[in-house]
């Protein structure tokens, strides 16, 4: 008989949805919660999104603490699985946190608009998954309205991202209308019937095998003939299903759906839960740690600061990696060597925060912290190795920091150091006549507003930012004379990070690509800190 730990690990599915704004992430999330029974009527996530958009001011948004904190992780049960859906902030709050969340996920769902295919933000997020060999499942959304031909769309995805797609479901179109999906694994057609409630409840579905004579009657002879033809094409030309390739992130099981009408959502989700990995061993400085190992381990991937200056406490988001997490236990922060009490831990169920007594590998727990934790910290109840640092991702927005009162420089330095440790922005230094001048870099520009607000309210430093024209940064490895030579170009700058590692900033992607080509064999360029 398997132990409680094994059982809990094997039923966990921890994933994030990666998409470009407007592909339908909010709508899909809402439908998954609906199927998971976490909300009875779909609509609550949407309401929250409307609220978020209405308050475009991040500060105000954050002051309504409940909103952004609870939207970070959604946990619910579905078909015997314990699902942890990690929110990847998009829209105007796209930031390094979005990337870091992917490090905490065991798989990702890439959601595409059926007319637009792969878009910029999808590509960036997909590349982070690729780098980490995270399994990616593809959902082509909005199939209720005409889109790109599915064969063409998948060809484009494959060419763009360098991944193979394996359609697990295929859309059934009748007179151009999306009426069902064919499931290639069990060779059945799921024919959907539209309800009257605009997708607020489950969809009525009729399931028939491909050779069931009733199928022709319900779909119509032409529709069925076209479907058979497409299936033949898929079988003849497409990739084979290969579970190892899925786990390695090189083959993406692909689904067709309409989050708006719910068509295809449940067939996707069931297959996804079956095929997606439960927590797998993760690398530490002393080898891989198995999630079923008895010792508790986890790492911090996100810190949410409280903007109210009277309450300096923060919530650190801990991804449990092995063993059992127990509220109130004393564990060790392996970086600092100090003991940490797992005080007042919380999980997040739809809109509510709940106190949690125990958690298992794959779960994300919010713990109160008074400033002792940093992003990337490993917490453990023994002396295991540390989880490999969460990488710093290359920023795309840069600004020089200026302060009105030079006597506050020390406070500025402290603030920048602490805020960068916490992951609010990255700090770089450029040589200037007056010594190293601080610059900040961010993945999303909203991070700058947050930074200025926090410098002022937490460190008493009034600063301004002078935006710089760079859009690309690369950590660079090679002889210093070559770094100096390359950085001397007119649209470049050389800076160092907080650990004194050199980077070169570029004004354009084109300039960066050309330099990488020209310097092949001399310099190495890294988009993630080496
Ligand atoms: P996001 O979180 O990825 O940004 O996307 P969101 O779910 O907010 O969806 C963006 C728009 O796309 C919304 O329309 C939404 O209704 C629509 N949408 C989502 N899924 C589907 C789908 O399966 N089919 C179709 N046809 N549309 C879909 P909107 O007009 O911006 O908002 P609303 O007026 O519908 O609220």
The pLDDT averaged over each successive group of 10 residues in the chain (530 residues) is 88 95 90 73 45 38 37 81 85 75 95 96 91 95 96 96 96 92 93 71 81 88 94 87 93 96 94 96 92 94 67 79 91 91 66 73 87 88 81 86 88 88 84 77 84 87 93 94 93 90 94 95 89
Which of 22, 71, 255 for mutating ligand 1's site (highest number of atoms within 8 Å of CB)? Answer: 22
CATH code: domain of residue 341: 3.40.50.300
345 and 452 housed in the same domain: no
Q: How far apart are CA 453 and CA 310, in angstroms?
A: 14
Is residue 141 a known part of a binding site? Answer: yes
Which of 23, 27, 256 for mutating ligand 1's site (highest number of atoms within 8 Å of CB)? Answer: 27
Is residue 526 a known part of a binding site? Answer: no
Among candidate residues 330, 293, 360, the one with its CA nearest the CA of residue 11: 360
Q: Is 258 in the pocket of ligand 1 (CB under 6 A)?
A: yes
Q: In this predicted structure, what is the pLDDT of residue 306?
A: 58
120 and 173 housed in the same domain: yes
Q: Is 29 in the pocket of ligand 1 (CB under 6 A)?
A: no
If 0-12 CB within 10 Å is exposed, 13-18 middle and 19+ buried, where does residue 510 land?
exposed
Report yes or no on 74 lying in a domain.
Answer: no
Alpha helices, DSSP H only, in 82-131? 96-104, 120-131
Q: Is 25 in the pocket of ligand 1 (CB under 6 A)?
A: yes
315 and 243 housed in the same domain: no
Q: How far apart are CA 311 and CA 3, in angstroms?
A: 41
Tell me, in angstroms, the distance from the centre of ligand 1 to residue 204's CA. Answer: 22
Which of 88, 116, 260, 266 for mutating ligand 1's site (highest number of atoms within 8 Å of CB)? Answer: 260
Tell me, in angstroms, the distance from the centre of ligand 1 to residue 461's CA. Answer: 41
Q: Is 260 in the pocket of ligand 1 (CB under 6 A)?
A: yes
267 and 294 housed in the same domain: no
State the sign of the Cα–Cα–Cα–Cα dihedral 327, 330, 333, 338: positive
Burial 412-451 (b: 16+ CB within 10 A, else e): beebbeebbbbbbbbbbbbeeeeeeebbbbbbbebbbebb
Is residue 252 a known part of a binding site? Answer: no
Among candidate residues 14, 208, 233, the one with its CA nearest the CA of residue 104: 14
353 and 501 housed in the same domain: no
Q: In this predicted structure, what is the pLDDT of residue 433?
A: 65
How far is the CA of 123 from the CAs of 18, 118, 128, 247, in angstroms? 9, 6, 9, 20
271 and 292 housed in the same domain: no
Q: How far apart are CA 506 and CA 500, in angstroms?
A: 19
Q: How far apart are CA 510 and CA 520, in angstroms?
A: 16
Report yes or no on 386 lying in a domain.
Answer: no
Is residue 142 a known part of a binding site? Answer: yes
Q: How far apart are CA 30 and CA 43, in angstroms?
A: 7
249 and 209 housed in the same domain: yes
Among candidate residues 326, 321, 247, the one with its CA nearest the CA of residue 290: 321
Q: In this predicted structure, what is the pLDDT of residue 508?
A: 93
204 and 99 housed in the same domain: yes
How far is the CA of 512 from the CAs of 405, 491, 518, in angstroms? 36, 10, 10
367 and 422 housed in the same domain: no
CATH code: domain of residue 407: 3.30.70.3280
User: Beta-carbon neighbour count of residue 307 at 10 Å?
Assistant: 18
Q: How far apart are CA 74 and CA 352, in angstroms?
A: 9
Ligand 1 atom index nearest CA of 19: 3
Ligand 1 atom index nearest CA of 258: 23
State the sign of the Cα–Cα–Cα–Cα dihedral 14, 20, 21, 27: negative
Report yes or no on 81 lying in a domain.
Answer: no
Q: Name residues whose C-beta falls within 8 Å of residue 105's C-beta, 6 or more positions apart in sequence.
A: 14, 15, 16, 86, 134
Tell me, in angstroms, the distance from the centre of ligand 1 to residue 22's CA. Answer: 6
Is 229 strand, coil or helix? Answer: helix
Phi and psi of 69, rounded to 5°? -70, -45
239 and 309 housed in the same domain: no
Q: Is 361 in the pocket of ligand 1 (CB under 6 A)?
A: no
209 and 297 housed in the same domain: no
Q: Is 45 in the pocket of ligand 1 (CB under 6 A)?
A: no
Tell me, in angstroms, the distance from the centre of ligand 1 to residue 261's CA. Answer: 11
Query: Which of 227, 249, 275 is where one domain is finished?
Result: 275
Do strands 426-430 and 492-497 pair parallel, antiparallel, or not at all (unpaired)? antiparallel
Q: How far apart are CA 237 and CA 384, in angstroms?
A: 47
Tell me, in angstroms, the distance from the centre of ligand 1 to residue 110's CA. Answer: 16
Residue 486 is part of which domain span? Answer: 397-526
Q: Is 259 in the pocket of ligand 1 (CB under 6 A)?
A: yes
Tell me, in angstroms, the distance from the centre of ligand 1 to residue 26's CA. Answer: 8
Q: Is 199 in the pocket of ligand 1 (CB under 6 A)?
A: no
Looking at the structure of the chain, the number of domains it has is 3
Q: 172 near 210, Cβ under 8 Å?
A: no
Phi and psi of 141, rounded to 5°? -100, 170
Query: Which of 275, 307, 323 is where one domain is finished?
Result: 275
Report yes or no on 391 lying in a domain.
Answer: no
What one-character DSSP code corresponds to residue 240? P
Among candidate residues 399, 409, 397, the one with its CA nearest the CA of residue 464: 399
How far is the CA of 368 from the CAs of 37, 58, 64, 450, 460, in angstroms? 29, 22, 18, 20, 24
Residue with tokens 């019937």: 193
Is residue 388 a known part of a binding site? Answer: no
Ligand 1 atom index nearest CA of 261: 23
Quick one: three-class SS letters along 304-331? EECCCCCCCCEEEEEEEEECCEECCCEE
- Range 345-348, long-range pairs (CB < 8 A, 24+ positions): 346/315, 347/73, 347/75, 348/69, 348/70, 348/72, 348/73, 348/74, 348/75
Q: In this predicted structure, what is the pLDDT of residue 511?
A: 94
Q: Is 26 in the pocket of ligand 1 (CB under 6 A)?
A: yes
Ligand 1 atom index nearest CA of 50: 36
- Which protein residue has the closest C-alpha to ligand 1 atom 36? 46
Report yes or no on 80 lying in a domain.
Answer: no
Whether ipTM > 0.85 holds is: yes
489 and 416 housed in the same domain: yes
Report yes or no on 165 lying in a domain.
Answer: yes
Q: 388 near 283, Cβ under 8 Å?
A: yes
């Amino acid at each position: 008989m398997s132990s409680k730990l094994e059982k809990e690990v094997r039923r966990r599915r921890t994933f994030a949805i990666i998409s470009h704004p407007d592909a339908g992430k909010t709508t899909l999330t809402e439908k998954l919660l609906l199927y998971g029974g976490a909300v009875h009527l779909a609509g609550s996530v949407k309401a929250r999104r409307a609220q978020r958009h209405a308050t475009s001011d991040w500060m105000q948004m954050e002051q309504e603490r409940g909103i952004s904190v609870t939207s970070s992780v959604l946990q619910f049960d579905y078909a015997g699985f314990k699902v942890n859906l990690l929110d990847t902030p998009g829209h105007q709050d796209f930031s390094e946190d979005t990337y870091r969340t992917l490090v905490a996920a065991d798989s990702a769902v890439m959601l595409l608009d059926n007319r637009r295919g792969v878009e910029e933000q999808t590509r960036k997020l997909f590349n982070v998954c690729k780098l980490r060999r995270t399994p990616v499942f593809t959902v082509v959304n909005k199939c209720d309205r005409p889109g790109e031909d599915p064969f063409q769309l998948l060809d484009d995805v494959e060419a763009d991202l360098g991944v193979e797609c394996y359609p697990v479901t295929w859309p059934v179109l009748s007179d151009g209308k999306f009426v069902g999906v064919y499931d290639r694994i069990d060779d059945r057609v799921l024919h959907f019937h539209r309800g009257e409630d605009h997708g607020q409840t489950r969809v009525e579905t009729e399931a028939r095998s491909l050779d069931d004579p009733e199928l022709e009657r319900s779909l119509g002879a032409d529709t069925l003939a076209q479907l058979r033809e497409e299936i033949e094409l898929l079988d003849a030309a497409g990739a084979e299903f290969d579970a190892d390739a899925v786990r390695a992130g090189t083959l993406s099981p692909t689904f067709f759906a309409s989050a708006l009408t719910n068509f295809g959502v449940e067939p996707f989700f069931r297959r996804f839960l079956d095929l997606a990995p439960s927590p797998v061993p993760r690398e530490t400085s002393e080898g891989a740690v198995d999630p079923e190992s008895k010792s508790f381990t986890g790492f911090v991937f996100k810190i949410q600061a409280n903007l109210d200056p009277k309450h300096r406490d923060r919530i650190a988001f801990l991804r449990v990696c092995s063993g059992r997490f127990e509220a109130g236990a004393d564990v060790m922060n392996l970086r600092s060597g100090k003991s940490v009490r797992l005080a007042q831990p919380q999980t997040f169920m739809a809109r509510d925060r709940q106190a949690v007594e125990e958690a298992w590998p794959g779960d994300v727990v919010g713990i109160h912290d008074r400033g002792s934790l940093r992003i990337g910290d490993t917490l453990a109840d023994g002396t295991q190795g540390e989880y490999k640092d969460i990488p710093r991702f290359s920023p795309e927005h840069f600004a020089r920091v200026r302060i009105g009162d030079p006597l506050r420089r020390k406070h500025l330095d402290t603030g920048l150091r602490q805020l960068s440790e916490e992951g609010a922005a990255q700090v770089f230094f450029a040589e200037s006549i007056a010594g190293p001048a601080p610059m900040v870099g961010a993945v999303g520009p909203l991070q700058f507003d947050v930074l200025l607000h926090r410098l002022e309210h937490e460190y008493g430093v009034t600063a301004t930012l002078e935006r710089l024209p760079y859009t690309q940064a690369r950590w660079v490895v090679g002889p210093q004379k070559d770094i100096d030579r390359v950085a001397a170009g007119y649209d470049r700058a050389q800076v160092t990070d907080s650990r004194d590692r050199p980077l070169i900033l570029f004004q354009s992607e084109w300039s960066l690509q050309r330099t990488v080509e020209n310097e092949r064999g001399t310099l190495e360029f890294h988009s993630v800190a080496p």
